[in-house]
Amino acid sequence: MNYRKLGRTGLEVSEIGMGLEHLLPKDQDTITETIRAAIQGGVNYLDCLSGKDFAENSDINEEYVKLGKALEGLRDKVYITYLANANRSDADNFIDGIKIGFECFLCELNTDYSDIFMIAFCDKPIEFDRVTGNDGLLAYARKLQNENKIKFIGLSTHSSDIAHKAIESGDFDVLMYPVNPAFDVIADEEKYISLDLGKLWDAAYDYNADNAKGIKPIRKNVYTECLKNNIGLVVMKPFGGGFLLRPDINTGFTPANLISYALNQTGVSTVIPGCENKEQIEDILRYYSLKDDDLDFSKAVSNSRWNIKGCCQYCNHCLPCAADINIAQVNRAIDNKTAYEYNVLDVKASSCVKCGECETRCPFGVKIMDKMDLAVKMFENS
């Protein structure tokens, strides 16, 4: 494992970290063996996103309980990140809800502090203003910092506009941001509308170095500004939410060359692919034993062309679901055409109550209710 400085934090973080969002719902043995395999492989940066914490206010979170058990005796070997949801719907008691989740996190991980307090899902100007305003989430984070309950403050966004606002503010030590070749090169900056992320990513085009001359790549400028301002850049969605690895579109990308792509961008400190089991993290950590040809992403980039509007990126922005459907997993089963992935779900797509709330939250314009109907047709009526 190689290590890099996480901006002005001074922390030496592993080039490859690990996102826990898809691991934490698993059973205790799977979580424990996966995290311990990662640490044994040199991983020391854990992005501890719990979907359960984002869906409800509770002083008990079974996913944090399992994570705490997996980290017993290992807390001093890792940097952990707590994620606080910036787009919560409970505006009247916004900070109270965040406080409950954070105190639960510390208690169940049996720790006195989080290395990074990440203000997450901040994708719209109204959300950024809410975060940075008087008595906002940033003020709460500073209070925690003064109490030594957190070391550093970060912000997570999919939007280059919000990313630049965060960098220019000087308030954040770390930025978590998507980095992958499908989203990085924007042909027409005027098409960028921060309130509609789908339009931004629809603008990704068939990359060609000659055609790109004279075009201002606004997303890549984020990386440069992070380096200039000594802000740690953490890469999320290196695989485009799995989109770039779909066999039906045959992009030519692999986990290895996508990680290589991210690590080759200016200012990047660590890449955090999501993992669901020990085998996946061990496979990713084979990165360091691969030959240069296996890490070369140039051919795949030169041949790439995407239009992802309407495609689920499994990001869980759609949650919470009124019927407790795991929407991302349903969509993953549809995309992979795998009935076994669907059959293990506790709540099936047929439970959808057609409230439409999920679609209002989706940054990609996915017709989620139609997808639920498709899942019923594919897996329940077959």
| Residue 363 contacts residue 317 (beta carbons within 8 Å) | yes
Residue 206: per-residue pLDDT: 40
Measured CA to CA, the distance from residue 71 to residue 105 in angstroms comes to 13
pLDDT tens figures, 277-316? 999 999 999 999 999 889 887 777 666 554 345 767 666 7
Measured CA to CA, the distance from residue 299 to residue 289 in angstroms comes to 21
pTM of the full structure? 0.77
pLDDT tens figures, 199-222? 544 544 343 434 444 334 567 788
| DSSP characters over 159-216 | -HHHHHHHHHHT--SEEEEE--HHHH-BS-GGG--TT-HHHHHHTB----HHHHTT--
Residue 200: per-residue pLDDT: 47
Which residues of the chain, if any, have pLDDT below 50? 187-198, 200-201, 203-216, 306-308
